């Protein structure tokens, strides 16, 4: 059975890698990004995909995104809440506007997108929701500020709670917690020499690759992961060990 996947923040980085991996596995993919150009670039590179750009922090925009995906591809079976932003601002320098924006893109968007697809998943008695948290959600952000750490911790709490609400409907809800991954966001936030210094300090002394994260997400969205829900899976090269 062909599945329909909606991936947010898929214009670059881990989101684009996830969209590509799910497409390669046969899913029809709705590619979301705030930037219409990058969303279209990702969609154009996939076998069967559409671009659904829009602001996932806005409820009306999210409803439009999900409606377009449903109308053109079918009901959304797989939701990957990947959209995120970070700033390395220290607490005493964070403005209210910056705090609200980071919480909105990382946490509120995860809630809004999940809420928007649940009715269709319940009707189909099958669904996979994968939320992007971070090692920051379990510890402290390597390069982001307190607002990023707070948002990613909130995603873990939301994941646990939602998984309990929808498990009986055939829907699993899990979180992935990447460490420092070689993405445009990381490279644009800290200097190359700092990136290298962090990488050399990890037990596996390198940055993770977006494709490695995409493989983990692909597993969580598969039938083989049907007994995994409410979980958070680390992928960080041993930076955070338990």
pLDDT tens digits, one per residue of 197-228: 988 999 999 999 999 999 999 999 999 999 99
CA 64 vs. chain centroid, Å, equals 19
148 is catalytic: yes
Share of the chain above pLDDT 90, in %: 90
pLDDT band at 189; cut points 50, 70, 90:
confident
pLDDT of amino acid 185: 87
Distance between terminal CA atoms of the chain? 37
| Pairing of β 171-178 and β 127-132 | parallel
- The predicted model scores a pTM of 0.96
Q: Find the catalytic residue in 148, 162, 177, 181.
A: 148
CA 110 vs. chain centroid, Å, equals 8
Taking residues 30-34, report their average pLDDT.
Answer: 98
The domain defined by 4-181+211-235 folds into Rossmann fold (3.40.50)
Taking residues 106-122, report their average pLDDT.
Answer: 98
Selection from 180, 175, 105, 92 nearest residue 142 by Cα: 180
DSSP letter at 77 equals -
Name the strand (E) or helix (H) holding 116: helix 109-124
What value does the mean pLDDT of the chain take? Answer: 96
Residue 195 has pLDDT above 90, yes or no: no
pLDDT band at 38; cut points 50, 70, 90:
very high
Both tokens assigned to 153: 């911790």
More confident residue, 83 or 196: 83
Residue 240 has pLDDT above 90, yes or no: no
DSSP letter at 104 equals I
Angle between helices 146-166 and 96-103 (to 10 degrees): 30
Residue 47 Cα distances to 19, 21, 26, 68, angstroms:
11, 11, 8, 18
Taking residues 89-118, report their average pLDDT.
Answer: 98
Taking residues 63-79, report their average pLDDT.
Answer: 98
Both tokens assigned to 38: 């990058």
Mark residue 86 as left, alpha or beta (left: phi above 0; alpha: psi -120 to 50; beta: remaining): beta
How far apart are the C-alpha atoms of 109 and 228, rounded to whole Å? Answer: 23
Residue 242 has pLDDT above 80, yes or no: no
Domain residue limits, the chain: 4-181+211-235
DSSP letter at 130 equals E
Q: What digits encode the pLDDT tens for the residues 143-164? A: 899 999 999 999 999 999 999 9
More confident residue, 66 or 194: 66
How far apart are the C-alpha atoms of 222 and 219, rounded to whole Å? Answer: 5
pLDDT of amino acid 241: 84
pLDDT of amino acid 190: 82
pLDDT band at 13; cut points 50, 70, 90:
very high
């Amino acid at each position: 059975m062909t599945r329909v996947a909606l991936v947010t923040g898929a214009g670059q980085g881990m989101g684009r890698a996830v969209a590509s991996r799910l497409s390669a596995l046969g899913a029809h993919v709705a590619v979301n990004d705030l930037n219409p150009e990058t969303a279209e670039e990702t969609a154009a590179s996939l076998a069967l995909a559409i671009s659904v750009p829009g602001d996932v922090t806005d409820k009306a925009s999210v409803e439009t995104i999900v409606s377009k995906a449903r109308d053109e591809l079918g009901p959304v079976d797989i939701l990957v809440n990947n959209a995120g932003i970070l700033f390395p601002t220290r607490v005493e320098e964070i403005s209210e506007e910056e705090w609200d924006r980071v919480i909105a893109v990382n946490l509120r968007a995860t809630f809004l997108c999940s809420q928007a697809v649940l009715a269709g998943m319940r009707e189909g008695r099958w669904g996979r929701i994968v939320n992007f948290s971070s090692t920051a959600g379990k510890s402290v952000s390597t390069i982001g500020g307190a607002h990023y750490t707070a948002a990613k911790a909130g995603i873990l709490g939301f994941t646990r709670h939602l998984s309990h609400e929808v498990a009986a409907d055939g829907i699993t809800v899990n979180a992935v917690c990447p460490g420092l991954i070689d993405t445009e966001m990381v490279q644009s936030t800290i200097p190359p020499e700092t990136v290298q210094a962090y990488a050399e300090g990890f037990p596996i002394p390198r940055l993770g690759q977006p494709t490695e994260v995409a493989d983990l997400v692909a597993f969580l969205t598969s039938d083989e992961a049907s007994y995994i829900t409410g979980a958070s899976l680390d992928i960080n090269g041993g930076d955070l060990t338990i």
